Amino acid sequence: MRILRLLTGAWSWLFLLFILIFFEVWSHVTYGRTFFGNIFNAQSILLAATQILMMALGLTFIIISAGIDLSIGFIAGLSAVTMAVVIRALDPHLAPGWSFLAGISAAVLISLIPGFINGWMIAKLKVPSFIGTLGMFGIARGAAFLIADGATVSIRNPVAREFGNGRVIFDLVPIPVLIAIIVTLTFHYLLSSTKFGLYVYAMGGNYASAVRAGVNTTRLTIIIFMISAFTASLMGLFYTGRFSAGAGDAGEPILLNAVAAVFIGGASLTGGSGTIIGTVIGSLIIAVIQFGLVFINVPPFWQFVAVGLVIIIAVLIDQSRDRLTGMSGQEEGA
Amino acid sequence: MKPLITVDNVHKHFGGTYAARGVSLELYGGEVLALAGDNGAGKSTVIKMISGVYQPDSGTISYQGENITGKNPYEVRDLGIETIYQDLALADNLDVGINIFLGREPMKRRLGFIPVLDRKTMRQEAIRALKDLGIVVNDLSIPVRYLSGGQRQAIAISRAVYWKAKVLIMDEPTAALGVPEQREVKELIGRLKAQGVGIIFISHNLNDIFEVSDRILVLERGRKAGERLISETDEDEVVKLMMGR
């Protein structure tokens, strides 16, 4: 029973390994060269995974707590636009470094506001998170396009460009990837090793038990929605840095991939399970599929089909884990 | 011997409904007091006033001679009066050790300065706590939802005992359990008694009450209909008291 549980728990690692080998072999057979050995390919996949991961990181906390955050796509857009607008306004007056700093600070701070409101609505007003964040999805979307005046805001700031496109450590690691690694390790520590993280699991597993144990669930809910907004805002910063332009819909196409990454990583819709490591693997799986399919000349729309299939497989495996061990969480609920 | 809990003439009403009308009781260490009564007789109201969930309109509640009327549920629990709820209040997705420590987790330092949860200590202490109560759980690393109802009940109880509860209030502890598990819980109640814990036991099942209790207090529409030593009464008399005759 334990071995089965371990195997079903490790399937996402095995699946990632499998698709890596699959694309590598395909590349050798068809083109006679390496796929992942190519540093440009590896960097592109990691950058794509970073985009997904930034949105999925904070979302992992929310989904473990048995909630959902649909607003992060447009919170990322709000962040991207705010950064671009501030830098554009300040560039004529300040050194590029200072206007960049002002831009990212303003973007992160503004993004925390919808995160706070989300948490407050859900914890205090008892609005279901699906509905509450759907409302915020619309509000953040409108705010992002209003700030940008409905257009894409381009900038010419060398620091921002370096932030989005530069590489460090022997010119190998893209800066966004490095930042993502640091942020991921921090949140991994928070979720796996602190009381804060434990209470997120407790709240998702049995809300009443967390309350009875003395957990301040209101504060906890507000904090995790602010974390979700924070990591989404980082995605927006990377976007504006990378393209030297901020757009209101910068993050929206990533939202569903981020949700998928969390579930592929082993989280359950009913809450109480999921890990940061799992979410990292989930993000990598999606990025590899997207990039790999393009690489082997499959029409890009097949990406959606492939990612969709992986989500369904992930959920089936998650369910079979309970079935294999002889019990289901829901039936036990009584 | 002084009583652990003294409830003195408490009243409680909700709108026009009088849930408790002058109820008094005493609970001593090492005894099981059964609260019996039909639905709506006021059993839950009385235990919720003891555990601090409700405040009585009048009357007092004392713990070891000290007046604790008006304290909130957390303060009452910290005094050593624990309530085992029907739904067990376990976090089903977490393991046994964490469930025993939830809200009071020990920490340790990694690399000398990073505070992290001390899962090892929690697990070891959980093994000890369960062993003290004669409970065997094979795999402590799995989420408690994979354990049987009886084991889960045992974990909820051992959490209370680990944190030095002197009074346990058990609301229908056997209601959701199969027959063998009911027996386990009843045996556990016997061992707790032997350790000097005072237990208030609510049940609809008269067989259970007669099996585990020392005394029985029957409530009827918010009033005390009678109080008997189990050895000096029988089911017929209790049923008559419950029906107000």
pLDDT per residue over B162-208, tens digit each?
888 899 999 888 777 778 778 888 888 888 888 899 999 998 888 88
Does residue A202 lie within any of the structural domains? yes
By the 8 A CB rule, do A12 and A266 touch? yes
Residues of chain B with a CB closer than 8 angstroms to some CB in chain A? 74, 85, 87, 89-94, 98, 102-103, 105, 107, 110, 114-117, 139, 143, 145-146, 176
Residue B179, pLDDT score: 81
Q: Region B98-109: what's the mean pLDDT?
A: 89
By the 8 A CB rule, do A224 and A72 touch? no
Does residue A10 lie within any of the structural domains? no
Take residue B187 and report the two structure tokens written for it: 């045996």
Res. B50: pLDDT tops 90: yes
Does residue A80 lie within any of the structural domains? yes
Residue A3, pLDDT score: 66
pLDDT tens digits, residue range A190-244?
999 999 999 999 999 988 888 888 889 999 999 999 999 999 999 999 999 999 9
Q: Region A35-56: what's the mean pLDDT?
A: 91
Query: Domain residues for A261?
Result: 52-321
Please report the number of interchain residue pairs, chain A to chain B, with beta-carbon separation below 8 angstroms: 68
Q: Which amino acid is at B127?
A: I
- Tally of structural domains, chain A: 1
Does residue A326 lie within any of the structural domains? no
pLDDT tens digits, residue range A124-155?
999 999 999 999 999 999 999 999 888 899 99
For chain B, the residue count is: 245
Chain B residues with beta carbon closer than 8 angstroms to that of A331 = none
Does residue A183 lie within any of the structural domains? yes
Does residue A21 lie within any of the structural domains? no
CB contact under 8 A, B103 and A215: yes
Residue A10, pLDDT score: 78
pLDDT band at A334 (very low <50, low <70, confident <90, very high): very low
Residue in the block written with tokens 């989280």:
A267
Which runs of consecutive H residues, i.e. helices, occur in chain A? 2-31, 39-64, 72-90, 96-124, 129-147, 158-165, 175-193, 195-205, 207-212, 217-243, 255-264, 276-295, 302-324, 329-332
Q: Region B4-29: what's the mean pLDDT?
A: 91
pLDDT band at A329 (very low <50, low <70, confident <90, very high): very low
3-state class (DSSP) for residue A188? helix
| Beta-bridge partner residues of B226 | B218
Does residue A16 lie within any of the structural domains? no
Does residue A194 lie within any of the structural domains? yes
pLDDT tens digits, residue range B136-161?
777 788 888 888 877 888 888 888 88
3-state class (DSSP) for residue A206? coil
